[in-house]
Amino acid sequence: MQLESIKIIATNTIIQKIKDEFKLQGHSLSGAFEQSLRVIVEKTPEGFSLIGRGNHYGGILNSGVEAQKIPYSGKTGRGGTSLYIEALRKFVEARGMASGKEALSIAFAIAAKQKKEGLPTNASKRFSKTNKRTQFVQEGMKKSLPDFKAQLSNLMKKEIVDSLKKGTK
Protein backbone atom coordinates (compact mmCIF):
# COMPACT_ATOMS: atom_id res chain seq x y z
CA MET A 1 0.00 0.00 0.00
CA GLN A 2 1.31 3.42 -0.87
CA LEU A 3 2.29 5.35 2.23
CA GLU A 4 1.66 8.71 0.58
CA SER A 5 -1.97 7.72 -0.13
CA ILE A 6 -2.40 6.70 3.51
CA LYS A 7 -0.90 10.03 4.60
CA ILE A 8 -3.40 11.94 2.44
CA ILE A 9 -6.33 9.93 3.82
CA ALA A 10 -5.13 10.41 7.43
CA THR A 11 -4.63 14.15 6.89
CA ASN A 12 -8.06 14.57 5.32
CA THR A 13 -9.83 12.59 8.02
CA ILE A 14 -8.00 12.33 11.35
CA ILE A 15 -6.07 15.60 11.26
CA GLN A 16 -9.10 17.50 9.97
CA LYS A 17 -11.34 16.15 12.75
CA ILE A 18 -8.73 17.07 15.38
CA LYS A 19 -8.62 20.61 13.96
CA ASP A 20 -12.41 20.76 13.98
CA GLU A 21 -12.59 19.60 17.61
CA PHE A 22 -9.84 22.08 18.63
CA LYS A 23 -11.96 24.90 17.17
CA LEU A 24 -15.21 23.58 18.67
CA GLN A 25 -13.59 23.57 22.11
CA GLY A 26 -12.75 27.25 21.66
CA HIS A 27 -8.97 26.97 21.49
CA SER A 28 -8.34 28.43 18.04
CA LEU A 29 -6.72 31.86 18.05
CA SER A 30 -4.06 32.45 15.40
CA GLY A 31 -4.44 29.19 13.49
CA ALA A 32 -0.79 28.30 14.23
CA PHE A 33 -1.62 25.09 16.07
CA GLU A 34 -3.98 23.90 13.35
CA GLN A 35 -1.37 24.67 10.69
CA SER A 36 1.28 22.76 12.64
CA LEU A 37 -0.67 19.50 12.67
CA ARG A 38 0.69 16.81 10.39
CA VAL A 39 0.81 13.07 10.14
CA ILE A 40 3.83 10.86 9.54
CA VAL A 41 3.25 7.40 8.07
CA GLU A 42 5.89 4.76 8.74
CA LYS A 43 6.08 1.29 7.27
CA THR A 44 6.15 -1.45 9.91
CA PRO A 45 6.39 -5.26 9.70
CA GLU A 46 2.64 -5.37 10.43
CA GLY A 47 1.74 -2.73 7.82
CA PHE A 48 2.05 0.92 8.81
CA SER A 49 1.82 3.26 11.79
CA LEU A 50 0.55 6.83 11.99
CA ILE A 51 2.34 9.42 14.10
CA GLY A 52 0.74 12.80 14.72
CA ARG A 53 2.80 15.93 15.23
CA GLY A 54 1.95 19.51 16.17
CA ASN A 55 3.08 22.51 18.19
CA HIS A 56 4.01 21.47 21.74
CA TYR A 57 1.42 23.61 23.51
CA GLY A 58 -1.33 21.53 21.90
CA GLY A 59 -0.43 18.72 24.27
CA ILE A 60 -0.86 21.06 27.23
CA LEU A 61 -4.27 22.22 26.02
CA ASN A 62 -5.28 18.63 25.21
CA SER A 63 -4.35 17.23 28.63
CA GLY A 64 -4.83 20.24 30.86
CA VAL A 65 -2.62 21.18 33.80
CA GLU A 66 -3.29 20.48 37.47
CA ALA A 67 -3.51 23.59 39.65
CA GLN A 68 -0.38 22.76 41.66
CA LYS A 69 1.64 22.59 38.41
CA ILE A 70 0.69 26.08 37.21
CA PRO A 71 3.96 28.08 37.29
CA TYR A 72 2.64 31.00 39.29
CA SER A 73 3.09 31.57 43.01
CA GLY A 74 0.87 34.61 43.43
CA LYS A 75 3.68 36.37 45.28
CA THR A 76 5.21 39.53 43.94
CA GLY A 77 8.59 39.01 42.39
CA ARG A 78 11.65 41.13 42.01
CA GLY A 79 10.26 42.95 38.99
CA GLY A 80 11.57 40.36 36.53
CA THR A 81 9.67 38.91 33.62
CA SER A 82 7.79 35.64 34.04
CA LEU A 83 7.55 33.71 30.78
CA TYR A 84 4.20 32.37 31.95
CA ILE A 85 2.76 35.82 32.68
CA GLU A 86 4.22 37.15 29.44
CA ALA A 87 2.53 34.35 27.46
CA LEU A 88 -0.78 35.09 29.17
CA ARG A 89 -0.37 38.81 28.43
CA LYS A 90 0.18 38.02 24.74
CA PHE A 91 -2.88 35.76 24.80
CA VAL A 92 -5.01 38.56 26.30
CA GLU A 93 -3.80 40.98 23.63
CA ALA A 94 -4.27 38.46 20.79
CA ARG A 95 -7.86 37.84 21.96
CA GLY A 96 -8.40 41.61 21.82
CA MET A 97 -9.39 41.73 25.48
CA ALA A 98 -7.00 44.53 26.43
CA SER A 99 -3.54 45.92 25.81
CA GLY A 100 -0.65 47.38 27.78
CA LYS A 101 -0.95 47.49 31.58
CA GLU A 102 -4.58 46.34 31.49
CA ALA A 103 -3.55 43.20 29.56
CA LEU A 104 -0.87 42.54 32.16
CA SER A 105 -3.41 42.89 34.99
CA ILE A 106 -5.74 40.44 33.25
CA ALA A 107 -2.81 38.05 32.74
CA PHE A 108 -2.13 38.06 36.48
CA ALA A 109 -5.83 37.47 37.20
CA ILE A 110 -5.90 34.52 34.80
CA ALA A 111 -2.76 33.08 36.40
CA ALA A 112 -4.29 33.39 39.87
CA LYS A 113 -7.48 31.64 38.72
CA GLN A 114 -5.48 28.86 37.03
CA LYS A 115 -3.40 28.44 40.18
CA LYS A 116 -6.65 27.75 42.06
CA GLU A 117 -8.45 25.60 39.46
CA GLY A 118 -5.84 24.40 37.00
CA LEU A 119 -6.03 24.61 33.24
CA PRO A 120 -8.65 24.73 31.88
CA THR A 121 -10.57 26.79 34.39
CA ASN A 122 -14.22 25.99 35.03
CA ALA A 123 -15.34 29.29 33.51
CA SER A 124 -13.45 28.64 30.26
CA LYS A 125 -16.08 26.07 29.24
CA ARG A 126 -18.22 28.99 28.09
CA PHE A 127 -15.90 29.32 25.08
CA SER A 128 -16.56 25.70 24.04
CA LYS A 129 -19.38 24.53 21.81
CA THR A 130 -18.93 20.98 23.17
CA ASN A 131 -18.71 21.89 26.88
CA LYS A 132 -15.25 20.29 26.84
CA ARG A 133 -11.84 22.00 26.99
CA THR A 134 -9.53 18.97 26.89
CA GLN A 135 -9.16 15.72 24.96
CA PHE A 136 -9.68 17.32 21.53
CA VAL A 137 -7.16 14.89 20.01
CA GLN A 138 -8.99 11.83 21.34
CA GLU A 139 -12.40 13.26 20.38
CA GLY A 140 -11.19 14.14 16.88
CA MET A 141 -9.69 10.69 16.39
CA LYS A 142 -12.86 8.98 17.60
CA LYS A 143 -15.00 11.06 15.24
CA SER A 144 -12.67 10.43 12.28
CA LEU A 145 -12.36 6.65 12.56
CA PRO A 146 -15.43 5.61 10.51
CA ASP A 147 -14.43 7.84 7.58
CA PHE A 148 -10.74 6.90 7.87
CA LYS A 149 -11.55 3.18 7.86
CA ALA A 150 -13.92 3.54 4.89
CA GLN A 151 -11.37 5.49 2.83
CA LEU A 152 -8.58 3.07 3.75
CA SER A 153 -10.80 0.14 2.79
CA ASN A 154 -11.57 1.77 -0.57
CA LEU A 155 -7.85 2.30 -1.18
CA MET A 156 -7.12 -1.34 -0.39
CA LYS A 157 -9.91 -2.54 -2.73
CA LYS A 158 -8.59 -0.31 -5.51
CA GLU A 159 -5.05 -1.63 -5.06
CA ILE A 160 -6.30 -5.24 -5.11
CA VAL A 161 -8.32 -4.63 -8.29
CA ASP A 162 -5.37 -2.85 -9.93
CA SER A 163 -3.07 -5.73 -8.95
CA LEU A 164 -5.48 -8.30 -10.37
CA LYS A 165 -5.79 -6.32 -13.61
CA LYS A 166 -2.00 -6.28 -13.98
CA GLY A 167 -1.88 -10.04 -13.34
CA THR A 168 -4.39 -10.80 -16.13
CA LYS A 169 -2.54 -8.84 -18.80
Mean pLDDT of the chain: 93
Asked if 11 and 40 sit in the same domain, the reply is: yes
- DSSP, collapsed to helix, strand or coil, labels residue 49 as strand
Q: What is the pLDDT of residues 29-70, one digit of tens each?
A: 999 999 999 999 999 999 889 999 999 999 999 999 999 999
pTM of the predicted protein model: 0.87
Do 121 and 114 touch, CB atoms closer than 8 A?
yes
77: confidence class by pLDDT, cuts 50, 70, 90: low
pLDDT at position 75: 74
| Domain end marker among 74, 94, 119 | 119
> Which neighbouring-strand residues pair with 42?
49
Do 136 and 27 touch, CB atoms closer than 8 A?
yes
Asked if 59 and 12 sit in the same domain, the reply is: yes
pLDDT at position 164: 87
Write the CB contacts of 153 (distance below 8 Å, at least 6 apart in sequence): none
Q: How many domains does the chain have?
A: 2
